[in-house]
Copies of this chain bind each other. A is one copy, B any other.
Amino acid sequence: MALRNVRIEVSYDGSRFYGWQRQDGFETVQQSIEEALAELLDTVVVIHGSGRTDTGVHGLRQVAHFHIDADRIDDDRLRHALNAYLPRGISVRRAETCADDFHARFAARGKRYGYLVQTTRHRPAIGPEFVHWERSPLDGDAMREAAQRMEGERDFAAFGNVGSPRKSTVRRVHHVRLVLRRERFAIVVQGNGFLYNMVRTMAGTLIAVGKGRMSPDDVTRALDLKDRKLAGPTAPPGGLYLVRVLYPEPVFVGREQGPGAPPGPLQY
C-alpha cells in the first residue's frame, strides 16, 4: 500500500500540555495530534516533530511529519478535519504532502525562538501564562551589548547541557535580537541548534544583565570558561515560543493570510 508523507505546521498553547513529547499518563501535544489522527483515519499514526518543547513553552510554527495512506483525504481536508478533532490549545496552521524522505527533525537546519518579557510594576492581568513578568525596568543598552556577545559559533556549555557528555556543546547562534514592544520586549534568538534549556538560560542571563546583576563582560567570561554557574538563571518556560523551524528548502508555500503572527490579546 502506497504511503504519502505529510508535514504540518502547528501552533499550541504550552500552558495546556505537558510539553511536546509523548509521555504515558500526561497530555502532550504530540499525543493529542496522534490521537486526533487516529480518530480521523481510524489507524495508528506516529508523528515526528522537529524537536521537543518543555511544559509551558509555546509553539507558534512547530513542524512535524507523518505517513498516511496515499489515497486518503487530501491535504486541505486533512488540516480541516484534524483541527476539528484536536483539543482547545492546538491548531494545525497548514498541512502539505512533501517529499517521501522529508524528516521534520533531520532536515531542520535551525530554529528561531522568541522570549517575551513584560516590564511593568503591575502583574499581567491578561494572559500571564504567555509572558515572563519582570517588575523592575531593564537596561536595554546593556542587554543589547550582552546579546551580541552570544552571537556566532561558540561553545555554549555555560548555557545548557547536552544529554550525552560526549556530544559537542558548540552551536552557531545566527543572531540574538531585542525587539521592543512598548512596555514589553521580545528576545529573538536564531541558531543552527540549541542545547537543553539554552534559550531560557540566554534569556535569564540577558534579564540579569538588564537588572545590572551581570555585565556583558560576565557573559563573555561564562562562555570562555564554559561554566554554567557563571551564566544567569534559566528563565521560566511561559515566556518562550518556538517561532519557526528553518529548512534548506522552502516549506509550506501554499496560501496563508499573512506571514504568521500568533493569536493573542490586543496589542497597541
Chain A residues in the interface with B (C-beta under 8 A): 10-13, 58, 60, 79-80, 83, 88-93, 114, 116, 118-128, 130-131, 133, 137, 179, 181-184, 186, 188, 241, 243, 256-268
Contact = CB atoms under 8 A, between A and B. Distances in A.
Contacts of A179: 268
Given A241-B266, A265-B58, A126 B11 contact: yes
Nearest to A261: B182
Contacts of A243: 266, 268
Contacts of A89: 125-126
27 contacts: A10-B125, A58-B266, A60-B266, A89-B125, A89-B126, A93-B121, A93-B122, A114-B268, A119-B257, A119-B258, A120-B258, A120-B263, A124-B264, A126-B262, A127-B265, A130-B264, A130-B266, A131-B264, A137-B257, A182-B259, A182-B261, A183-B260, A243-B266, A264-B265, A264-B266, A264-B267, A267-B267
Nearest to A13: B126
Chain copies in the assembled complex: 2
Nearest to A12: B125
Given A127-B13, A182-B259, A258-B183, A122 B92 contact: yes
A258 B183 CA distance: 5
Contacts of A267: 181, 261-262, 264, 267
B266 A265 contact: no
Contact of A127 (B92, B114, B182, B263): B263
A16 to B, nearest CB: 9
Contacts of A93: 120-122
Those 4 A-B pairs whose CB atoms lie nearest each other, nearest first: A264-B265, A183-B258, A124-B263, A182-B261
A89 B13 CA distance: 18
